[in-house]
Amino acid sequence: MPGYRDLFDTSISDPTSFWADAARAVTWTRAPNRILDDGNPPFYRWFPDAELNTCANALDRHVEGGRGEQAALIYDSAVTDTKRTYTYAELLDQTARFAGALRGLGVGKGDRVVIYMPMIPEAVIAMLACARLGAVHSVVFGGFAPHELAVRIDDVKPTVIVSASCGIEPSRTVEYKPMLDAAIGMTEHPPAHCVLVQRDRHRCELIEGRDLDWAELMAPKNGAEPVDPVPVAATDPLYVLYTSGTTGKPKGIVRDNGGHAVALLWSMRHIYDIAPGEVFWAASDVGWVVGHSYIVYAPLLLGATTVLYEGKPVGTPDPGAFWRVAAEHGVKALFTAPTAIRAIRKEDPEGRYVGDYDLSALKYLFLAGERLDPDTYHWASDKLGIPVIDHWWQTETGWAIAANPMGTEQLPIKAGSPTVPMPGYEVHILDEHGHDCGPGKEGAIAIKLPLPPGTLPTLWNAEDRYRVSYLTEYPGYYLTGDGGNLDDDGYLFVMGRIDDVINVAGHRLSTGAIEEVLATHPAVAECAVIGVADEIKGQAPRGLVVVKSGASTDGLAEELVKLVRDEIGAVAAFKLVDVVPALPKTRSGKILRKTMRGIAAGRDEPVPSTIEDPSVLDALGPILRS
C-alpha cells in the first residue's frame, strides 16, 4: 500500500484518478464515467453521472455477499440495562419494512423526514429507511428545545417526523412528545404525520389522525411490506444536518449520496484501520455529524459492526462505562470527544477503572470534536497504552480534514496537533490579505477548492449563504472558520474559532443565538456572550448583561439560565452570567467580544484604538478574569 505522502500528493495532483480508484469500493447502479464536474466554480460536484442507493450499499450488498448473519448493530443501553444485537439480515428486514411504512405515509424520493429521537435502534433504522427511499432525512438532536426544532422543521419542510415518547438520562426521563407538539405548534409547515416509538419508561398520548405508533405501523397485519432500494443520482441529497451560524439562524449542511459513500469507505480503511467484520464504536449521538458518519453510515457501508451506546462516559454507572462497552463487544477502535475523556479523568484520575476490563481488542482511541489538550492526550495514552489519535473535522466536511492515517502509515504523534491533512484537503494558512503564512505563523485555516468527496456541496435552499459563509473571504478557498498554523513538518495545529461560534463538548453553538434569547428578558437592555475555557467541555458560554434602568437583578442570573435552557436546550450548558454596568464597544457600536475573550483567557489583550470608552473595559477586567 502506498504511504501517506504518496496518497496525499496524488489526491492533489490528480484528484480525478485518486477518487475514481476510491469509488470502486462502492456498488453503483450506474458507475461514474465522469468523476468531477468543475464547470461551475465555486460549486463542484463529484460523480455527476453516477447512480446508487446508500442503504443498499450499507445493508443489501452485505447480505447478498454472505454476511447476513454477521452483527451489524450492537445496541448497548446503560440507562435501561438493555443490550441487543442486530445482524445485517435483521437490520435489512427492519429497514426495508419501515421504508415501506414511510412510503405508505406519502414519503418518496426527494421528500424530507425529520428524525427527533434518542439513541435507540429505531433512529438508525429510520435514517437508513429514508436513504432506501431516496428521501432526505434531517436528524435533530433530542436535547434541542421546541423553538430550535421548529426552526429546522420550517426550513426542511418534512412530510413525516419520526420521534419517540422519551429520552432517558441517568437521573431523569425527558419527555419528547410535549416538546414535539410545542414545536409543531410554532411551525408554518407542520408534517402530515408523526411516527412515535413508545418506550417502556414512559408512554405518550398520540394525536388521532396525525400520530402513529411505530410498533403498530410495523406490524405485518397493518401492511408494512418491505420495499426495494430506490436508485438516486450520486449528487442527490442524502441528508440535511443543521449547524449553528453566527447569525443565530442554523445552516442546513447538505450531504450528497455518492461522494459521501466514497469518502466514508476510504476513511474507514485508511484513517481508522477497520476491515469488514471488525467492531467500531463512535461514542457520539446520531444527532451530530459524528453519529451520522461513524455510528450509522461508514461502518455499515464497509461491512463492519457498529456500536450504538445509550449512556454517558461517567455516571452510568461509573467512570468505567466506556471500558466496559469496549471490552464486552470487542471494540477495535473507539472514537469519542476529548470532553468524554476529561470527564472520565476527573472521576478516575488514577485510571483504576481501566484495569478492571480486558481491553486487549482495543487498538486505537480516536478523539475529535474540540481541541485535544496535551494533558488529556498524555493521560489517555498513559492509561490505555495504545495510540491516541487526535483528528480534526467539521459538520461541513463530514469526515476528517486532518488525521493520523492509521490504516495507511502511522506518523509520529505531536501532542496538540491532529497531525496532517488527509487526501483531497489542500490546507493553507492565510493572512488577512489571502497570502500563505510561513511555517509556525498563525492565520486562517482555509482549504483550496475543490473540496474532496463527502464534503458539503452547498447549504439547503441557501446557495448564496453558502457562498458568503464559506467561499467569499478567500476566493478559490473554503474558509473553515478556524485559526491555526502548519509547522515545518506540515503538521497542522488548530487553535480555535475565528468567529463567534463556540464549541461546547463537541457541539457548535452560536453565541449570537444565546444572545438573542437573553435579550428577550424584560430586564435586559443589552448583552454579549463569549466562549470561555471549561475544564470538561472545552468551552462554555459566558453571558454578560446590562440591565435596564430600575430593573431588579434579584434572581436574574437564575432566570436567564433557565431561559436559555428552555429556548435552546440543556446542550448549551449555559450557567455563567454576570450583570455588568456596560459593555465595551467601538465607536461604531460593535461589541468587543474578541477583546473580552482574550482577557477572560488571561491574555494581555491590547485595547483596540477604536474603543469608545476604555474605562468600561477597565471595569470589566476583574469580572472577566474571575
Q: Which three cell numbers stand for residue 116?
A: 427527533
Span 528-533, average pLDDT: 88
Span 379-401, average pLDDT: 97
Q: Is residue 523 within 8 Å of residue 552, measured between CB atoms?
A: yes
Give pLDDT, residue 499: 64
Give pLDDT, residue 53: 99
Bigger pLDDT: 593 vs 12: 12
Q: Which three cell numbers stand for residue 194?
A: 408523526
Give pLDDT, residue 118: 96
Q: Is residue 165 within 8 Å of residue 202, measured between CB atoms?
A: yes
Has residue 423 got a pLDDT over 60?
Answer: yes
Strands 279-282 and 305-310 come out as parallel
Percent of the chain with pLDDT over 90: 73
Instruction: Indicate the pLDDT class of residue 597, thresholds 50, 70 and 90.
Output: confident
Mean pLDDT of all residues belonging to the chain: 92
Give the integer Cα–Cα distance in Å for 256 and 263: 11
Give pLDDT, residue 371: 75
Number of H helices, E strands in the chain: 20, 31
Has residue 589 got a pLDDT over 60?
Answer: no
Give pLDDT, residue 1: 67
Give pLDDT, residue 232: 98
Give the integer Cα–Cα distance in Å for 323 and 334: 10
26-41 confidence digits (pLDDT tens): 999 999 999 999 999 9
Strands 364-367 and 333-336 come out as parallel
Has residue 606 got a pLDDT over 80?
Answer: no
Give pLDDT, residue 246: 54
Of 381-390, 392-401, 490-499, the one with minimum mean pLDDT is 490-499
**Angle at alpha carbon of residue 75, lines to 70 and 76, rounded to 5°:** 130
Give pLDDT, residue 206: 97
Instruction: Indicate the pLDDT class of residue 501, thresholds 50, 70 and 90.
Output: low
Bigger pLDDT: 187 vs 495: 187
> Distance from CA of residue 321 to its chain's centroid?
22
Give pLDDT, residue 603: 84
The neighbour count for residue 265, using CB atoms within 10 Å, is 22
Cα 586 to Cα 583, 605, 606, 626: the distances in Å are: 10, 15, 14, 24
Has residue 497 got a pLDDT over 90?
Answer: no
Secondary structure letter of residue 460 according to DSSP: T
Span 11-24, average pLDDT: 98
168-186 confidence digits (pLDDT tens): 988 889 999 999 999 999 9
Residue 123 CB-density burial (10 A; 0-12 exposed, 13-18 middle, 19+ buried): buried
Give pLDDT, residue 342: 86
Give pLDDT, residue 609: 55
Bigger pLDDT: 499 vs 69: 69
Span 368-397, average pLDDT: 92
- pTM, two decimal places: 0.87
Contacts of 134 (CB under 8 A, 6+ apart): 53, 108, 109, 110, 230, 231, 232, 236
Span 149-154, average pLDDT: 95
Bigger pLDDT: 586 vs 403: 403
563-584 confidence digits (pLDDT tens): 998 988 887 888 889 999 888 8
Instruction: Indicate the pLDDT class of residue 250, thresholds 50, 70 and 90.
Output: confident
Ordered domains of the chain (ranges, CATH): 84-230 (3.40.50.980), 501-625 (3.30.300.30)
Q: Is residue 125 within 8 Å of residue 59, measured between CB atoms?
A: no
Give pLDDT, residue 509: 74
Give pLDDT, residue 425: 98
Give pLDDT, residue 247: 56
Q: Which three cell numbers stand for residue 426?
A: 489542500
Give pLDDT, residue 532: 87
C-beta contacts of 426-433 below 8 A and 24+ residues apart:
426/12, 427/401, 427/402, 427/486, 427/492, 428/477, 429/484, 429/485, 429/486, 430/474, 430/477
276-312 confidence digits (pLDDT tens): 999 999 999 999 999 999 999 999 999 999 999 999 9
Has residue 595 got a pLDDT over 90?
Answer: no
Give the integer Cα–Cα distance in Å for 475 and 560: 41
Phi, psi of 139 (to 5 degrees): -90, 130
Span 578-592, average pLDDT: 77
Of 193-207, 216-230, 387-401, 459-473, the one with minimum mean pLDDT is 216-230
